[in-house]
Amino acid sequence: MNKVTIYHNPRCSKSRQTLALLNEHGIQPKIVEYLKTPPDAATLEAILKKLGIEAAQLIRRKEYAALGLTDSDDPHELIARMVAHPEIIERPIVVRGAKARIGRPPEQVLEIL
């Protein structure tokens, strides 16, 4: 069985619910509090590939706008902004092997378990 990692924000209710759901299924994931330990650009690129989405789809729009960041279509620029401002990264993200899911709703992560 592949290890499971959750990119977690303990202040987020969906993130807490997703972690609880994993625990209910007997999974003790590696917990990465991404606001304290932001993923680097290479890690974000790998996560995006596992999610099968574009960089723009991983951004929390409200937080992005609150920071006054300008719009960009450049995925490398958006990844750099996520590295610099991890609070704009959608959460939680659960990764297992070559697959990942965003826990919105939390049950969505069950697809990769």
The pTM score is 0.95
CATH of the domain at 59: 3.40.30.10
Provide the number of structural domains found in the chain: 1
Q: Exactly one of 1, 2, 6, 12 is catalytic; name it.
A: 12
8 and 19 Cβ atoms separated by less than 8 Å: yes
How many beta carbons lie within 10 A of that of residue 52, not counting itself?
10
User: Domain limits at 54?
Assistant: 4-112
Q: Order of strands, edge to edge, in the sheet holding 99-102?
A: 30-33, 4-8, 93-96, 99-102
Residue 12: active-site member: yes
49 and 55 Cβ atoms separated by less than 8 Å: no
Using one digit for the tens of pLDDT, what is the confidence trace for 32-91? 999 999 999 999 999 999 999 999 999 999 999 999 999 999 999 999 999 999 999 999
